[in-house]
Structure 1
Amino acid sequence: MPLTPDGSTQLSSTRVRFALLALALGGFGIGATEFVAMGLLPNLASDLLPGLYASAPDAANAQAGWLISAYALGVVVGAPTIAAAAARWPRKQLLLGLLTAFTLGTIASALLPTFETVLAARFVAGLPHGAYFGIASLVAAHLMGPGKRARGIAIVLGGLTISNVIGVPTITWIGQMSGWRVAYLVVAAIFALTFVAVAVFVPFQAGNPKATMRAELRAFGKLQVWITLSIGAIGFGGLFAVYTYVAPLVIEITGLAAAAVPLILVVVGLGMTAGNFAGGALADWSVRRTMYIAFGVLILALITLGLSAQFLAGLLVGMFLVGAAASALSPTIQARLMDVAHESQSLAAALNHSSLNVGNALGAALGGVAIAAGLGYLAPVWIGVGLSALGVLLTVVTFSIDRSRRHRGHHVPYGTQLIPVVRQR
């Protein structure tokens, strides 16, 4: 049976499974609070920007996309700040505090009356996102044991991807039927349930007593950390350039009714779930190869979508593969960050979600600019191709630096360890 995080007693396999499920439930709630806005974008625009929506629906949809960008920017700010400041805190107690913040922030999003106040609430609701995933991933990796780090990360992220299969489409439907505010209250209830599950099932796990904010922040002095963050921020933007505007894409380009949007979200969620678990398993095999494979599939999927989204089959295949390839990158990039950050593990685990949400904000913003400029709802797809291609270029750079250091006899991250490489004479 697995050991507890402090190694003093043993946990039953059943307790470990329930603990992992509790952590994944938090990911489920985060997936809902992050992605429900995408399926309800026209509803948000018409309710919060009624005058603009009546005269220029495209411009209103583009402006409503800033609600998604605001949440993403909250993640970017909150992830490194909270993770670095709280690295010494007991991890279970930190998770409970973050879940409380999620619950209150999501309730505020549902109840505040104007576009500006909801925009502010979405920023606040995003603050605990990265820290939750970072700390939960560390707890899950510890529970899984040696050699299964990326699979532990994938379990936590699996809650987010499964949310895109079940939670996001269902809550989107609820929002279409009962209003987007009701949809966010349902999300808040999921966070409250997660709080109870974590309190009951997740064992105590101490923080790092030697950690300090200064020590954690040393990760920002490492070139490879910045390159890996850029891979997530730019390369992952390809997904969000498309996903942010999936509702108008489905309605205006493919010509389907609004009722079809939740079904398309199910397809995307299935792709995300398959890609996440495949990426976790493959990253434990080879982080480098998995990143190249995932980016290659993502670019091909975006091109397929751009050329065939007017057909139902093209939309389904393209959206499934975009979701799968992008989600395979998530645990892979997180594993890479934990390798190159060395001792700053809490910060590294959280920074992945900062970088991915820079991609969220970047993709949403660039897509909105293109749509507002009159380039149409397919323009974000081609923006996504360009962003993903830049992600490939950065991937080449980071692993080229590894090879260069290996030839000079430096320590190079590989898998979960730092392997000393001796220069051959």
Structure 2
Amino acid sequence: MPFALYLLGLAVFAQATSEFMLSGLVSDIAHDLNVSISAAGSLTSAFAAGMVVGAPLMAILSLRWPRRRALLAFLITFLLVHVIGALTTSYAVLLATRAVAALANAGFLAVALATATGMVAPNAKGRATSILLGGVTVACVAGVPGGALLGQLWGWRAAFWAVALASAPAVLAVLRSVPAGAPAGGGSTGVRGELRTLRDPRLQLTLLLGALVNGATFCAFTYLEPLVTEVTGLGDAWVPAVLALFGLGSFLGVTLGGRIADSRPLPLLVAGGAALLTGWAVFAVTAGSAAATVLLVLVQGTLSFAVGSTLISQALYAATGAPTLAGGFATAAFNVGAALGPWAGGRAIAGGLGYRSPLWISALLVGLALALAAAVAARRVPRPGDAEISR
């Protein structure tokens, strides 16, 4: 794999850290800016909304730019708004920086997916995708806990400065490693041509399945803290360790997915999806056991990201004529899931169903994805070219 892929993964690491790190900083932000906890929490919602809207929009805007120019524009914008966020004393300005950072993140990830898969052989998209998404998993393992620790030691602004500093080497890496010539849309036929490619039912199904699986992942992940402390009975000191264990599982998952997704994607998705469904249900039943919780956090993190990263690579395989917009819409679909899952889990908890209920909702979402895929497969008539996904 080209070394440039790992450098792009560094930028993804910084951006994913920024997306998730506010979970450990909201109280400090609320106190410092004299706003409510819910207002501070809406900074995360602003980022998620920006990712959903920004991914396809930024991908379209960048189609005619050279890839290096597009990556640099998004990355430098991301860096600068974090500097502004670290300096501002205004909640409104901070909220605006989160929205702009999300737009830049979404655009960068869409172009980076196209760039990464364009750097490798046509049958190696899965491995390239897994390396890029490895930045997200490392953020879960180290970046998010590290941001929370910086916030505890030196205040929430230190975490924003750290994200800006982590983005700086990626700027130099893009300058040195990404070819200047090719447009972000690669050899596509422009916006209309790429949009026509996105009408492919196989691609649309893959994006929908990705949203459901990611919704299940983030439904459970978002509420691990109260589950661990209130249901499992572990102390607060265990929470960072459990979150890091889930992050370790996510890293193992994208690594596993990257090695299998290019050669045997269908068996991985079917077996992994079935195991994922079973795992969430078993987790819900056994959450009162510390040993079961620790084991299943690792297992479910691995399965969730193995299946999720494989669905992203399959979206790129299904849209070879629209590499940038496919990456953009994949980013948007997965962030729809990241918003839908926690919302559904929160509604269940608010409705008095307890802290195990997000795990049952995760099982329901994965079950819905499997049922949908099975229904489509039962009605599907084999067509020329369909063999690619069954390699």
Give the alignment's TM-score, normalised by structure 2. 0.88
2:47–2:101 CA contact under 8 A, matched in 1: yes
Deviations along 1:157-203, whole A, 9 cap, x unmatched? 11211222222222222223333332232122212232122223333
1:68–1:244 CA contact under 8 A, matched in 2: no
Partner of residue 279 from structure 2, selected from 301, 306, 314: 301
Instruction: Output the amino acid matched with 1:74.
Output: G
* Match of residue 135 from structure 1: 111
> Shift of the alpha carbon at 1:395?
2.4
Q: Are the structure 2 counterparts of residues 48 and 365 from structure 1 closer, same or farther at C-alpha, using a change threshold of 3 Å? A: farther
Q: For residue 128 of structure 1, give the secondary structure of its aligned residue in structure 2.
A: helix
Question: Quick check: 1:26 aligned with 2:19?
Answer: no
Partner of residue 125 from structure 1, selected from 92, 95, 101: 101
Instruction: Output the amino acid matched with 2:317.
Output: D
Q: For residue 288 of structure 2, give the secondary structure of its aligned residue in structure 1.
A: coil
Q: How many residues align?
A: 389
Q: Are the structure 2 counterparts of residues 222 and 389 from structure 1 closer, same or farther at C-alpha, using a change threshold of 3 Å? A: same
Percent identity between matched residues is 34
**Residue correspondence of structure 1 range 67-216 to structure 2 within 5 A:** 67-111=43-87, 118-207=94-183, 208=186, 211-216=189-194
* Match of residue 356 from structure 2: 378
**Residue correspondence of structure 1 range 34-49 to structure 2 within 5 A:** 34-40=19-25
1:129–1:353 CA contact under 8 A, matched in 2: no
1:370–1:379 CA contact under 8 A, matched in 2: yes
2:265–2:390 CA contact under 8 A, matched in 1: no
2:266–2:389 CA contact under 8 A, matched in 1: no
Q: Are the structure 2 counterparts of residues 411 and 83 from structure 1 closer, same or farther at C-alpha, using a change threshold of 3 Å? A: same
> Shift of the alpha carbon at 1:298?
2.0
* Match of residue 268 from structure 2: 290
Q: Are the structure 2 counterparts of residues 94 and 50 from structure 1 closer, same or farther at C-alpha, using a change threshold of 3 Å? A: closer
1:225–1:340 CA contact under 8 A, matched in 2: yes
Give the alignment's TM-score, normalised by structure 1. 0.82
1:32–1:163 CA contact under 8 A, matched in 2: yes
Partner of residue 344 from structure 1, selected from 306, 314, 322: 322
Partner of residue 354 from structure 1, selected from 332, 339, 347: 332
1:268–1:320 CA contact under 8 A, matched in 2: yes
Deviations along 1:380-400, whole A, 9 cap, x unmatched? 222211111112123224444
Distance in 1, Cα, partners of 2:157 & 2:62: 32
Instruction: Output the amino acid matched with 2:9.
Output: A
Q: Are the structure 2 counterparts of residues 291 and 32 from structure 1 closer, same or farther at C-alpha, using a change threshold of 3 Å? A: same
Instruction: Output the amino acid matched with 2:20.
Output: F
Distance in 2, Cα, partners of 1:144 & 1:341: 16
Q: For residue 203 of structure 1, give the secondary structure of its aligned residue in structure 2.
A: coil
Instruction: Output the amino acid matched with 2:151.
Output: G
Distance in 2, Cα, partners of 1:158 & 1:337: 18
Question: Quick check: 1:392 aligned with 2:377?
Answer: no
> Shift of the alpha carbon at 1:31?
2.1
Instruction: Output the amino acid matched with 1:329.
Output: V
> Shift of the alpha carbon at 1:41?
5.5
* Match of residue 239 from structure 2: 261
Q: For residue 285 of structure 1, give the secondary structure of its aligned residue in structure 2.
A: coil
Deviations along 1:295-336, whole A, 9 cap, x unmatched? 222222322332233333222222212211111123311222
Deviations along 1:65-95, whole A, 9 cap, x unmatched? 5443432221111111111222232111111
Q: For residue 236 of structure 1, give the secondary structure of its aligned residue in structure 2.
A: helix
> Shift of the alpha carbon at 1:155?
0.8
